[in-house]
Chains A and B, each alone.
Chain A
Amino acid sequence: MVATSSSTAAASRAAKLMKRRSRVRFYEIIVWIAAIAAFFVLPSKMLILTEIAILALFAVSLDLVLGFAGIVSLGHTAFFGLGAYIAGLVALHYVAEPVVGLLVAGIGAGLLGFVTSFLILRGSDLTRLMTTLGIGLMMAEMANQMAWLTGGADGLSGFSLGPILGLFEFDLFGKTGYVYCLVVLFVGTMLMRRLAFSPFGLSLKAIKANPMRAGMIAIPARKRIVTVYTIAAVFAGMAGALLAQTTSFVSPDVLAFHRSADVLLVLTIGGTGYLYGGIFGAVLFTLVKDWLSIVTPQYWMFYIGLILVVLVLVGRDRLARWVEYLPERLSKSKEEGR
């Protein structure tokens, strides 16, 4: 009797904790309002806003793997690139309607994620790094070699997209493109958020913290990692598809190694483990990169490298805690979530 009542008490406490963790926070609302406001306030900056939205979706999907499951991946761009190529090919040969391409790209990238997830189950951080890096390079090489399908080094071009759902035509200024990407980003983030702040997400964090103990309290680590890796791959593929669809071009660059590094940097700037880090990071990263590529068109890479080195030396954690320096009311809601 006592045992039952204490266990129900524990259950209700756990339910409360979960609810508190998953509550919508103040800054989240601000993010989305700002994203919508940007559409009206900055009509001439649609292209860079689209770029931010795509990078944000890509980064948020990596956060699911890195921030929650704790897997350091250097090959996340494999899914991004695959999604881009699939979306391009679908538009070129089959359907011009973008949403179909988006979904197909997601499924394709998810399949690759599912298959390759078994490779990252074993071994240490180093082994995982190597395997993910190897898969990324293999995909890049494949895209380069299969020129009959992908256009090789010239990239895939010559496809045009029809109106979204048959209703909204892509316009010259990229307005439709931005709204389209923003909607996908919003839906994607909400889905991942639902996942990340569920018991499932909590169990991932347990696996990240200590796989052995997680196993002892009956968390099936392998299954969880396979699942989350697959889901992250789906969204990364969709981000790639968005890039292909909004630019009507797929360059082999979508699979380049520096993209994997870029997205890691994005997460480093924004902070890992709470999804929105990907969005904040994407905004900052894109702005900085844009500014640098104007100042030093050829050598911006140097400064990106410098930022990385300084970030690590200063300490990533200290930087990721910038939210805490916000005024009291804003930061309170964040701390409760931890």
Chain B
Amino acid sequence: MLTILFDGVAYGMLLFILACGLTVTLGLMNFINLAHGAFAMAGGYVTVVMMNRYGISFYWCLPAAFIASALIGLVLERTLYQWLYQVSHLDQVLFSIGIVFMAVAATDYFMGGQQQLINLPPELSGRMDVFGVGVGRYRLFTIVVCAALALALQLILSKTRFGSRLRAAVDDRRVAMGLGINVPLVFALTFAFGSGLAGLGGAMGAEILGLDPNFPLKFMIYFLIVVSVGGTSTVSGPFLAAMLLGIADVAGKYYVPAIGPFVIYALMIVMLIVRPNGLFSRGSR
């Protein structure tokens, strides 16, 4: 029971790290980016290649995954995404689906369609007992790292100058520009940062979520649930939503395997009916 809760929390933490970049893209730039999972996949594959082909330590792979995904995100934002902030949602959906399809096919071409495996360092594999509860070491590691990241994010957003600029740009793009804030730059950096986090999540999640070319399609719905249930105006909203989703998904798959996947979809639809603007929204726009 507690083990399931623990696994659920770890799962939820991962989902949060994966999805929080999307929160920014969706909430801040009002861009429906279904291709967010592709950045996560990029991070995952960077890790796989570095570890399995070049034998680089797992701990070095994580920042590398972050940087690689962030760079990809930055380049794509500057070349493609930035032109599409103003177009209709349908166009954004089509565009990002196109990106997903390309990413899936390209990954399949370069890496093959099979599931990728990574070998965790020995100190992170296996289980240990904490007060009689079986705890996976890697999951504990995940929780610690993700919690630290979530905390850091919250602090960056609420305490730093960049965070306040970002929040200003969220609230009113035009006024923020009028105040001399370089909104496109803020957007680009935030997009890159969000993509980097997704890449980090993909790298860490390779062990728990699995990694194959269909990753962006498989987890698209999870990211969208986190964002739409959590709302897009805070960090804590998506965080709680991710926790809820992670625990519900793990528990659902464990207790009622036959209807496991329905649990989260049903949860999402109910949530969207009750609170169309997210669980913790600041009221309707």
Binding site for B on A (CB under 8 A): 66, 72, 74, 119, 122-127, 129-131, 133-135, 137-138, 141-142, 145, 257-258, 261, 264-265, 268, 298-302, 304-309, 311-313, 316
Once the chains are docked, how many angstroms separate the CA of A130 from the CA of B221? 8
> Contact string, B89-117, partner A, CB cutoff 8 A, digits 1/0?
11111110111111111101100000000
Q: A308: which of B80, B97, B104 is its contact (CB, 8 Å)?
A: B97
CB-based nearest A residue for B89: A125
Can you list 30 A-B pairs, Cβ within 8 angstroms, ordered by A? Answer: A72-B90, A119-B269, A122-B273, A123-B276, A126-B26, A126-B89, A126-B228, A127-B228, A127-B272, A127-B277, A129-B32, A130-B268, A130-B272, A133-B224, A134-B268, A134-B269, A145-B261, A264-B90, A264-B94, A264-B97, A299-B105, A304-B101, A305-B102, A307-B98, A308-B95, A309-B102, A312-B94, A312-B95, A313-B83, A313-B84
CB-based nearest A residue for B98: A308
Once the chains are docked, how many angstroms separate the CA of A67 from the CA of B146? 43
CB-based nearest B residue for A256: B217
Q: A127-B228, A312-B84 are in contact. List 4 more A-B contacts (CB 8 A).
A: A72-B89, A309-B98, A311-B98, A313-B95
Please state if B94 and A145 are interface contacts (CB–CB under 8 Å): no
Please state if B104 and A309 are interface contacts (CB–CB under 8 Å): no
Instruction: Report B257 CB to chain A, min CB distance, Å.
Output: 10
Q: Verify if B1 is at the interface (C-beta below 8 Å from A).
A: no
Q: Verify if B61 is at the interface (C-beta below 8 Å from A).
A: no
Q: A137: which of B83, B98, B221, B258 is its contact (CB, 8 Å)?
A: B221
Assuming the contacts A72-B90, A134-B221, asked whether A119 and B99 have C-beta atoms less than 8 A apart, the reply is no
Once the chains are docked, how many angstroms separate the CA of A304 from the CA of B94? 11
In this complex, the interface size class of chain B, counting residues with CB under 8 Å from chain A, is 35 or more
Please state if B94 and A305 are interface contacts (CB–CB under 8 Å): no
Instruction: Report B216 CB to chain A, min CB distance, Å.
Output: 11
3 cross-chain pairs, A with B, having the tightest CB-CB distances, nearest first: A308-B98, A305-B101, A302-B105
Please state if B93 and A74 are interface contacts (CB–CB under 8 Å): yes
Q: Verify if B280 is at the interface (C-beta below 8 Å from A).
A: no
Instruction: Report A253 CB to chain B, min CB distance, Å.
Output: 14
Please state if A125 and B32 are interface contacts (CB–CB under 8 Å): yes
**Residues of A with C-beta under 8 A to B266:** 138
**Residues of A with C-beta under 8 A to B99:** 305, 309
Assuming the contacts A123-B277, A141-B265, A309-B99, asked whether A129 and B93 have C-beta atoms less than 8 A apart, the reply is yes
Instruction: Report B80 CB to chain A, min CB distance, Å.
Output: 7
Please state if B93 and A264 are interface contacts (CB–CB under 8 Å): yes
Assuming the contacts A123-B272, A141-B261, A313-B80, asked whether A301 and B105 have C-beta atoms less than 8 A apart, the reply is yes
Please state if B101 and A138 are interface contacts (CB–CB under 8 Å): no
Please state if A130 and B258 are interface contacts (CB–CB under 8 Å): no
Once the chains are docked, how many angstroms separate the CA of A122 from the CA of B269? 12
